[in-house]
Each structure stands twice: as structure tokens, then as C-alpha cells.
Amino acid sequence: MDTVRWIISTAPEIFLLLAVAIGTILGRVRIRGFAVGTTACILIVSVLLGQLGNFAFPPLLRVILFSLFVFTIGYRSGPEFFASLSVRTLAQVAMALVLGGTGLVVVLLFAHGFRLDPGTASGIAAGALTQSSVIGTASGALAQLGLPKDVLSQQEANIAAGYAVTYVLGYILTLLFVPFVAPKLMRIDLKAEAKKLEAELAGGDPPKTDNLSYRKFQARAYRVTAGAGRTVKSIEEEIGSRTVVERIVRQGADVEPHLETVLEAGDDIVIAGRTAVIVAAKPIIGTEIDADEILKAVPGNVLEVLVDNRHLHGRSIQEIATRVGTDARGVFLRALTRMGREVPLSADTRIYVGDVMTLVGSTRNIERAAKAIGQILRSGDRADIAFLAAGIAAGLLAGLVSFRIGGVALTLGGGGGALIAGLVCGWLRSRKPTMGALPPAAQQTLSDLGLGGFIAAIGLGNGAAAWAAIQAHGLLLVGMGLVITLVPLIVATLFAFYVLRMNPVVTCGALAGAMTVDAAVTGACEVAESQTPVLGVAVPYAVGNVVLTVLGPIIVAATYSG
């Protein structure tokens, strides 16, 4: 033990990294499809390791780690958050606000009824509402109160205890509520309603098993005979299915394939589109030819494009195709993913900022269409560290601003400031794609490392006190956590279905999004035997991340008695 104590006093960061490593490994373990989650496991491991001795980490370390995490959350949610402030998505925004607001009210009722200190109240809010970032914003708000060091440490220990006891329960309850309880409250059969929604999205027809047959994209070469004297536009319209003339070679020279270009007998042309359609185009154009050199000059590609055009937010694919117009010529939508999950496709499927479109077509056509839709995701992009550092610095500066309500100084704190900065920076990036690059892989790394390191520092530094608090008040915390999780979910479900008249399948996805529990979406999709619940996730997820995160300072201000 002497050696362990020497390591703790000399290099406590070793245990911090061990806690992150062990907690992450445990968080990935699934038992019958269920995993506790990385964050909860890191906290539990760090609290247990904290019994080995007194760990001391400089406040600067925790500030930087949490700022990295919460800035990334804001950066990721920024485009969706600001785009969600529109009439087309107002119902989903309202539902997320009702859920967060109800959670706040229930927490404050318990806090005043049981005389909970700010740390405990914030901890159970973070765990029961499954929003880990509340830990950081509440800790930052407590640090602004000028509390004695031992009192502040006890408050942080209470946050850790409240979170550790209630998070797993809140997570499990949300997983069960969304696919099983919410449909019963709405008195619907989730599977049947999903089939109805799929039929609506397909224009009233039963959903087809292969509604993405256009994935078979191909280019073929023809020598013009029957099509001589006709314009490119008339040829494309007669062939249909958004087929496009990609190249025209006339007497060995290239001719620009404009819509008004008139084809001449003997022209060699390349048309691209769905395989079945272009194969049947022979009577319209002429004879198919074997022209490898011509085809090689039309490079096909499959690229992912991030939707960040706010004017497209909440519009259907059909509306977007009309709005984009000729920019979409020769480009085909192969898949649509939302928060990593594939979304069912039809002409009426709505697109939201933050969605990722997989586009098929020639490189030049996709790049042209991408300018009207968003930005191409390229694996070679590097993170703009200068933009990241400057953004976090601006957020921390904004977090220093405070104003008094009664005798309490209300402030965003460093965490809240970094969140706001992340939202703004993410929005700026969507407006000007040439600045502030932070690729998805970099976002995930910063988020995981920032939150994991911060949680480990909290658990190690306050392990003994947190364990004592769990032993003393564990059962009471469990009971309060159960109510704080379920009441907001029940209220939000009834409000969305009976007041807002939201589709019940979309409501289930929205509940999972507002609670920021990705796995609950998967559960709803499995019960519905459909991907349609994913349609309701994006907007509530963005709003929920922001609304739940800012609860930390509000709870501290409302429960601090001085």
C-alpha cells in the first residue's frame, strides 16, 4: 500500500487514465444487449479507486477536460439547434422543452421538500435525466459561490453520489419507457403505427421491400441515331427517372452537355442513372457502344454530404429536389443517416440539419449538389485547433459573467460558456464550411476523452466522501431518481400526443432524443420493426443537449441557501 500511496501522491494522473480505460472497457460489455454505459462505469471505477488514498487534481485540469467535452457537444448540436427554431419543427422543440422543464420542477420539489443541498440535487438531476454534462455545469456554478474548500469538496462528492446512484436507473427506465410504456400511454400499437407511417411516406402505397432500387447506379455509352436533332433536356425527360447525359463527344471533341444542347447523328454520349432505365434507353437514343475511354472520363463517386443548409431543414426530399433544381441533376440519394442510424426513404421523408446524405453520381455533379445542401465529409480533413482553442477560450470568458438574483450570483460558469461557444462555433462552421473544421472522428475523441477524464477526476478526488454519501442516502436517492426520470417522460408523452398531435412513432423517437439516450431509439426501432422512430430524434436531441445541460447552474442557484 505504501507504493500505491506514493504513486497517488507523485503521479495521480496514472489512476485517472486507468479509471478511464477500465470504465470504458466495462461500459462496452453487453449483457443480453444491455450495456451500463461508459460514463457510469468510469464514475463507479473512479469512486472505488478513490478509496485507495487522497487524490488531488488541479482545478485547471478538470476545467479543460470538461470544456473540451461540452464545447464538442455544442459544436455538434449547433447547426441543428439553431435550425430547429422554425415553424416546421416547433412541435418537437416544444416537447423537448416540456420534458426538460418538467424534470427541473420535479428536482426542485424534491430539493425543497427533503432539504437537499445543491450538490445532491444536481447529481440526481444529472443521473435521472441521463445528462452527464449537468455534473460539469453544476460544479462550475458551485465553484463560483466562494465556498470553503472542504465544503466545495463535499458538494462535489454529493454530485458524484447522486449521479452514480441514479444514472443507471434513469438509463434503464428510459430504455424501457420509450418502446413499451409510451405506446401504452398513447393507446397505440407501435408496430402497426410504424407500418401506417411507412405507407404515408410511400405516398399511400404499401412500403416496398426494395424502396432503394435506384442504388444500382450505372453509366453507359450510346451512339446517337434516333435521338438526333433533339435537345439534351428532351432526351433526359423522355428517359425519365432523373437520368442525365454526362458527356457528349462529337468528332473526337467534347461538347458541354447543357440542357439546351442539340444532339447530332454520330455523337457518342454517356448517360447515367438507374441501371434498368438506361438499359431501356436504346430506342430513344440509338445503339449502345463499347467505349471504355469515354466512360473512364466520367468518374463515378459515392460521397457523404452533411446537411447544414438551414433553408432545407424540415423539408421533404421532394421539396428539396425541387428547391435545389438543376443543381441536383445527375445526383442520386443512396442513403440518409440521422445520428448514425439509417432513415427510411421516400419522397415525403423530411430532412434535418445534421443529417448525412450518401449521394451517388459523377464527382462533378455531387460537388455541385453539395454546395446547395451542405458540405462533403472527407476523411482527410484535419481539426482546426486554432478555431477550437479560440472558441473554448471565448466560452470560458463568457462564463465569468454573472448577475445576482437576491443574494445568489447566477452565472453560466465555464461549462455553460463553453457550451454556448460550441453552439455558435458549430453554427458558424455550417455557414462557412472553410473555417473551423472538426471532423466527426475528432469530435467523438474530444467528447469521450473530455467527459471520461472529467468524471474520473471527480470520482477519484471525492471517492471516499461519495461512497459515504451513497451508503447513507442511497435508497432515498434511488426513489427520487425513479420519479425524476418517469414523470418528465410521462408528461412529455401525453403533451406530444394529445396536445401537439405528433405522430406516435415520431413521438417515441423524440422522447429518446430529448433524453439523449441513443439506445432507446434502437429499442423503439426493434419493437416497431421499422426505422421510422429515427424520424423524430434529431431536433429533440439537439434541444435536449442544450436545455438539460443548463439545468446545472439553475438548480444550484435555486437550492443554495447561503
**Please, what sign has the CA dihedral across residues 523, 526, 529, 532?**
positive
Residue 412 has what pLDDT?
65
Q: Angle at the Cα of 258 (from 255 to 263), degrees rounded to 5?
A: 60
The three-state secondary structure class of 45 is helix
- Rounded Cα distance between 550 and 543, Å, is 11
Residue 114 has what pLDDT?
92
Model confidence band, residue 409 (pLDDT cutoffs 50, 70, 90) = low
pLDDT of 302 over the 70 cut: yes
Q: How far is CA 63 from CA 147, 284, 461, in A?
A: 18, 67, 14
What is the β-pairing status of strands 253-255 and 286-288? unpaired
What's the pLDDT tens digit per position in 371-406? 888 888 776 567 888 888 999 999 888 877 766 655
As a 3-state breakdown, the chain gives helix, strand, coil percent values, each rounded to 5, of 65, 15, 25
Q: Which domains does the chain have, with CATH numbers?
A: 56-197+383-559 (no CATH), 217-297 (3.30.70.1450), 301-377 (3.30.70.1450)
pLDDT of 513 over the 80 cut: yes
Task: Print burial letters for 354-393: b (CB count within 10 Å at least 16), e (below 16).
Answer: bbbbbbbbbeebbbbbbebbbbbbeeeeebbeebbeebbe
pLDDT of 212 over the 60 cut: no
Residue 288 has what pLDDT?
81
Model confidence band, residue 291 (pLDDT cutoffs 50, 70, 90) = low
Model confidence band, residue 342 (pLDDT cutoffs 50, 70, 90) = confident
Contact criterion met (CB below 8 Å) for 139 and 416: no
Contact criterion met (CB below 8 Å) for 159 and 139: yes
pLDDT of 407 over the 60 cut: no
Residues near 150 by beta carbon (within 8 Å), at least 6 away in sequence: none
Contact criterion met (CB below 8 Å) for 493 and 511: yes
Residue 159 has what pLDDT?
92
- Rounded Cα distance between 136 and 530, Å, is 37
3-class DSSP string for 262-295: ECCCCCEEEEEEEHHHHHCCHHHHEEECCCHHHH
- Rounded Cα distance between 332 and 362, Å, is 10
Which of 39-53, 120-134, 251-265 is predicted most confidently? 120-134
Largest CA distance in the chain: 92
Read off the pLDDT of each residue in 26-31 and give the average, rounded to a whole number: 83
Question: Greater confidence, 533 or 363?
Answer: 533
What's the pLDDT tens digit per position in 91-100? 999 999 999 9
How far does the chain reach from its first CA to its final CA, in angstroms? 40
- Rounded Cα distance between 133 and 139, Å, is 10
Question: Greater confidence, 108 or 326?
Answer: 108
Residue 109 has what pLDDT?
96
Residues near 280 by beta carbon (within 8 Å), at least 6 away in sequence: none
What's the pLDDT tens digit per position in 307-336? 888 788 888 888 887 787 767 777 778 788
Residue 218 has what pLDDT?
67
Residue 221 has what pLDDT?
83
Contact criterion met (CB below 8 Å) for 274 and 210: no
Nine cell digits for residue 355 = 443529417
Residue 293 has what pLDDT?
57
Query: Cα-atom radius of gyration of the chain, to the nearest Å?
Result: 27
Give the single-character DSSP code of 208.
P
Q: Which segment of 93-97, 154-158, 300-304, 516-520 scores lowest on mean pLDDT?
A: 300-304
Nine cell digits for residue 303 = 460521397
269: left (phi over 0), alpha (psi -120 to 50) or beta: beta
Helix (H) or strand (E) holding 334, with range, is: strand 331-338
Amino acid at 284: I
Residue 210 has what pLDDT?
34
Residues near 434 by beta carbon (within 8 Å), at least 6 away in sequence: none
3-class DSSP string for 487-508: HHHHHHHHHHHHHCCCCHHHHH
pLDDT of 283 over the 90 cut: no
Q: Which segment of 71-80, 220-229, 270-279, 534-543 scores lowest on mean pLDDT?
A: 270-279
pTM of full prediction above 0.85: no
Model confidence band, residue 426 (pLDDT cutoffs 50, 70, 90) = confident
Average pLDDT, the chain: 83
Residue 96 has what pLDDT?
93
Question: Greater confidence, 67 or 412?
Answer: 67
- Rounded Cα distance between 518 and 130, Å, is 11
Amino acid at 413: G
The fraction of the chain above a pLDDT of 70, given in percent, is 89
3-class DSSP string for 108-146: HHHHHHCCCCHHHHHHHHHHHCCCCHHHHHHHHHHHCCC
Residues near 310 by beta carbon (within 8 Å), at least 6 away in sequence: 79, 82, 83, 86, 353, 430
- Match 464550411 to its residue by C-alpha cell: 433
Residues near 49 by beta carbon (within 8 Å), at least 6 away in sequence: 15, 18, 19, 459, 460, 463
Q: Angle at the Cα of 313 (from 308 to 316), degrees rounded to 5?
A: 120
Residue 209 has what pLDDT?
36
Residue 213 has what pLDDT?
33
For every residue of 407-473, DSSP letters joined together read: TEEEE-HHHHHHHHHHHHHHHHHHH-TTS----HHHHHHHHHHHHHHHHHHHHHHTHHHHHHHHHHH
The three-state secondary structure class of 91 is helix
Residue 514 has what pLDDT?
92
Question: Greater confidence, 562 or 145?
Answer: 145
Read off the pLDDT of each residue in 152-180 and give the average, rounded to a whole number: 90
Residues near 333 by beta carbon (within 8 Å), at least 6 away in sequence: 214, 317, 345, 357, 358, 359, 360
Model confidence band, residue 300 (pLDDT cutoffs 50, 70, 90) = low
Residues near 10 by beta carbon (within 8 Å), at least 6 away in sequence: none
Nearest to 304 by CA among 273, 275, 333: 333
CA atoms within 13 A on the CB side of 246: 26
Read off the pLDDT of each residue in 80-108 and give the average, rounded to a whole number: 86
Contact criterion met (CB below 8 Å) for 512 and 486: no
